[in-house]
Amino acid sequence: MKVYLENKVLLLLWFLLLAGFDIEASTYNYSASIECQISPSAPQYEGGLVANPKFDDGLEGWKVFGKGKIEERTSKTGNKFIVAYNRTQSNDSFSQHIYLEEGLLHTFSAWVQISEGSDTVIAAFKTWHNETKIVGSVIAQFGCWSMLKGGLSVNLTMPAELYFT
């Protein structure tokens, strides 16, 4: 049973990343952190397909997914990140439109944190024909950053919406 995060704030660090690349031509980065970190590591894939992954242009390219509100914040160490708050459903968060290409492996990594306790955070794509494809998940915790990493390939080139739940 999925627990709704009514009072929890979903945080995503300044380097939300998504990269699409040809499996034969590029090297996959197999590294992943399984420990919650006070400060997140450097970004993988240099931002990939995500527009404004470091939030250098505020929330440009990002929008509310579901209900609730979003805003940009800056950590004490200077890292910019996006926050979803006033959530009533687990998928009330933020999203960005991405174009998925057939024949490519689209890899994904992000650093996530929640405002209290611990809970599962899932990254997913909603495709143009309303199908949901889960990309990855992690148990996020309060007070430290957890790496969410995954990927997918598609059998059809299509627009999709990246979102979190």
| Interval 39-78: pLDDT, tens | 877 666 666 678 888 888 999 999 999 999 999 998 888 8
pLDDT of the residue at 5: 43
DSSP lists the bridge partners of residue 109 as: 17, 149
3-state DSSP: the chain helix, strand, coil percent, rounded to 5? 0, 50, 50
pTM of the model: 0.80
pLDDT tops 60 at residue 161 = yes
The 10s digit of each residue's pLDDT in 121-142 is 999 999 888 899 999 999 999 9
> Apex CA 23: angle with CA 22 and CA 28, to 5°?
110
Nearest Cα neighbor of 105 from 2, 20, 165 is 20
Q: Which residue has the higher pLDDT, 112 or 31?
A: 112
Most confident among 44-53, 75-84, 88-97 (mean pLDDT)? 88-97
Architecture of the domain made up of 10-164: Sandwich (2.60)
- Mean pLDDT on 17-29: 46
Q: Which residue matches tokens 């024909």?
A: 129
Q: Which residue matches tokens 């598609």?
A: 154
